[in-house]
Amino acid sequence: MQNDRFLKACRREEVDCTPVWLMRQAGRYLPEYMEIRQKYDFLTMCKTPDLAAEVTLQPVNRLGVDAAILFADILLPLEGMGIELAFAKNEGPVISNPVRTKDDVDKIRILEAEEATPYVLDAIRLIRKELEGRVPLIGFSGAPFTIASYIIEGGGSKDYKNCKSMMWQAPDVWDSLMKKISEVLLKYLKAQIKAGAQAVQMFDSWVGALSPDDYEQYVLPHSKYVLDGLRDEGVPVIHFANNASSMLELVAAAGGDVIGLDWRINLDDAWKRVGYDRGVQGNLDPFTLFAPPSVIEEKVRKILDMAGNRPGHIFNLGHGINKETPVEHAIALVEAVHKYSRR
C-alpha cells in the first residue's frame, strides 16, 4: 500500500497527515462521471464492473483522496431478496412491491452475496487490481434501519410513517424483517471484504428520524448484530448514522471502529461522547464547498483543531457531496486537509 494513512487512522495509529475522502466522491459533480452517466443508466453502471471500477477511480485521480470507495448503491442487495428495485428519473429509488405484512416478510429471500450481487464482488476485485495499491478500497452497505425504511415505504420518505407504524403496531413483523435484512447485510459485507475491500462503512442514512428510545429498542440490536459479525474479518469498520448526534452514545454502543459524524455537532464534543477508544470520521457541512476557498480553509482548520492531532481522525464531509459542487473546491478541500494537518 503506497498510501496507508486512511487504514492507519482507522486503527488510531500515528499518521503523517490526516487522511481524507468524501462520501459520494464517485459522483455527479465530476464531469468525467457525467460523461459515462450520459451513456448508461445508474443501475447499469452499478452492475457493470468495468464501469463501476472506472468511476470508483475517478476521484482518486482527480482529487487526490486517501481512499477509494466502491461505486455502488445501498439498495443493490434488494433484488436478491425478491424486492423489485428501479430508479425513476429524478425521483430516486422506487420499489414496486413494498413490504408491509408478515407474509411480505416471509417471502424475503436470504441469498449468498455471490449469487445476489456477483457484479459488486467482481467490481471490487477489478478495482483492487486497477488501484495497484495506491490507496485502500472501502466497501459499504446500508444499515438495517435505512434498508428497512426503503423496503417498507417503497422508496424515500419524508416521515417514515409506514416504517414507524410497523415498528409500533407489529413489533414481531418488524423484528423478523430487521433480522432478515441484517443477515443479508452481514453476508454482503463479509463477501465484499473477501473480494478485497480493505475497510467497510455501514450507512444509517435515515435513522435520525427516530427517538433515542426507539433506536435503542428497535434498531440498535440489529445494527450491532451486523457490526459484531464483522469483528473478526480483519478490516476496520466505519459506522455512520446520519442526523443521530443526539444519540451518539447509542450509535457507538452498536459498534464500529470508527464512528462517522454529520456536520450538526462539534467534532470535539462528539469524539468525547463516542469515546477515545474509537476513531471518528467527519464532519464538514457538504455545502461548505459552495463557499469561497478561503472559507473552506477556515472551516477545515477549525475541524482539524477540534481533532487536535489525536490519532484516529479521518476527514470527510458530514454527508454526501452535492452534485452541483465545483470540482476545484473539492480539490481545495483535500489539499487544505493535507496541508493544515501535516505533522
The yes or no reply on residue 243 touching a copy of itself (CB under 8 A) is: yes
Q: Is 73 a catalytic residue?
A: yes
**Residue whose CB is less far from a copy of itself, 159 or 277:** 159
| C-alpha cell, 236 | 476496520
The yes or no reply on residue 322 touching a copy of itself (CB under 8 A) is: yes
Q: Is 40 a catalytic residue?
A: no
The yes or no reply on residue 287 touching a copy of itself (CB under 8 A) is: yes
Pick the catalytic residue: 62, 73, 264, 301?
Answer: 73
Q: Is 24 a catalytic residue?
A: yes
Answer for which of 44, 97, 211, 309 binds a copy of itself (CB under 8 A) is 211
Could you give the string, one character per residue 259-278, with x where binding to a copy of itself holds by CB under 8 A and - elsewhere?
----xxxx--x---------
Whose CA is closest to 80, among 179, 174, 184?
184
Mode of pairing for the β-strands spanning 85-88 and 92-95:
antiparallel
The yes or no reply on residue 159 touching a copy of itself (CB under 8 A) is: yes
Q: How far is the CB of 178 from a copy of itself (least distance, A)?
A: 17
**Residue whose CB is less far from a copy of itself, 45 or 178:** 178
129 contacts: CB under 8 Å, gap ≥ 6: none
**Residue whose CB is less far from a copy of itself, 142 or 282:** 282
Output phi, psi for 293, to 5 deg.
-55, -30
Q: How far is the CB of 149 from a copy of itself (least distance, A)?
A: 13
Question: What is residue 128's three-state secondary structure?
Answer: helix
The yes or no reply on residue 157 touching a copy of itself (CB under 8 A) is: no
| Cα 123 from Cα 137, distance rounded (Å) | 11
Cα of 204 vs its chain's centroid, Å: 8
Q: How far is the CB of 250 from a copy of itself (least distance, A)?
A: 10
The yes or no reply on residue 299 touching a copy of itself (CB under 8 A) is: yes
- Per CB under 8 A, contacts with a copy of itself among 162-181 are 164-165, 168-169
Pick the catalytic residue: 33, 150, 160, 225?
Answer: 150
| C-alpha cell, 91 | 425521483
The yes or no reply on residue 97 touching a copy of itself (CB under 8 A) is: no
Q: How far is the CB of 217 from a copy of itself (least distance, A)?
A: 11
Whose CA is closest to 70, among 193, 156, 183, 186?
193
Cα of 270 vs its chain's centroid, Å: 19
Q: 10-15: long-range contacts at Cβ-Cβ below 8 A with a sequence spacing of 24 or more?
A: 10/199, 10/236, 10/238, 10/257, 10/258, 10/279, 10/312, 10/314, 11/236, 11/257, 11/279, 12/279, 12/311, 12/312, 13/311, 14/311, 14/343, 15/311, 15/343
321 contacts: CB under 8 Å, gap ≥ 6: 22, 23, 24, 25, 27, 29, 286, 289, 330
The yes or no reply on residue 326 touching a copy of itself (CB under 8 A) is: no
Q: Which stretch binds a copy of itself (CB under 8 A): 42-50, 55-63, 230-238, 286-294?
A: 286-294
The yes or no reply on residue 304 touching a copy of itself (CB under 8 A) is: no
The yes or no reply on residue 233 touching a copy of itself (CB under 8 A) is: no
Q: Is 11 a catalytic residue?
A: no
The yes or no reply on residue 285 touching a copy of itself (CB under 8 A) is: yes
Cα of 243 vs its chain's centroid, Å: 14
Q: Is 218 a catalytic residue?
A: no
DSSP-derived secondary structure for 169-234: H-HHHHHHHHHHHHHHHHHHHHHHHHHT-SEEEEEETTGGGS-HHHIIIIIHHHHHHHHHHTTTSS
The yes or no reply on residue 90 touching a copy of itself (CB under 8 A) is: no
Total residues in contact with a copy of itself, by rule CB under 8 A: 35
Pick the catalytic residue: 5, 24, 100, 128?
Answer: 24
Do 235 and 257 meet the contact criterion of CB atoms below 8 Å apart?
no
Residues that bind a copy of itself (CB under 8 A): 159-161, 164-165, 168-169, 208, 210-214, 243-247, 263-266, 269, 285, 287-288, 290-292, 295, 299, 302, 318, 322, 324
Active site (catalytic) residues: 24, 28, 37, 73, 150
